[in-house]
Amino acid sequence: MSAPALKHDVFQAIADPTRRSVLQLLAQHDMPIVAISENFPLSRTAINKHLHILSDAGLVSSRRVGRETRYRLQPEPLAELKDWLAFFETYWHDRLSLLKDFVEKEPDPQ
């Protein structure tokens, strides 16, 4: 049986700066929506929408603890992003090496 398809991919989910900040907060420890909301000039409803997008992308999970829902970072899907960026790291390394060689090259005497 295959895993259910995610509604949002990792790239869409992290495209928003607020969602990236939420992920950074959750990297420290699990948090309820009230605590997350205190870090942003947004309503709890807006933060909840961001959390749903992150959840749909598999980047956060939630669990009930008493009357509150606590959110936890699920970093595994970020590996896809890391792999994609690693491809371009080689590209930039090569380009920067060429630029370095060009800049450090002594000019031809005329």
H-state helical runs in 29-77:
33-37, 44-56
Q: Which pLDDT band holds residue 5 (cuts at 50, 70, 90)? A: low
CATH 1.10.10.10 fits 10-104, yes or no: yes
Q: pTM value?
A: 0.74
**Using one digit for the tens of pLDDT, what is the confidence trace for 10-64?**
999 999 999 999 999 999 999 999 999 999 999 999 999 999 999 999 999 999 9
Give residue limits of the domains in the chain.
10-104
Query: Pick the residue with more confidence: 103 or 6?
Result: 103
Q: What's the pLDDT at 98?
A: 78
**CA neighbours closer than 13 Å in the CB half-sphere of residue 96:** 6
Residue 108 and residue 106: Cα distance in Å, rounded? Answer: 6
Query: Pick the residue with more confidence: 4 or 33?
Result: 33
For residue 86, pLDDT beyond 90: no
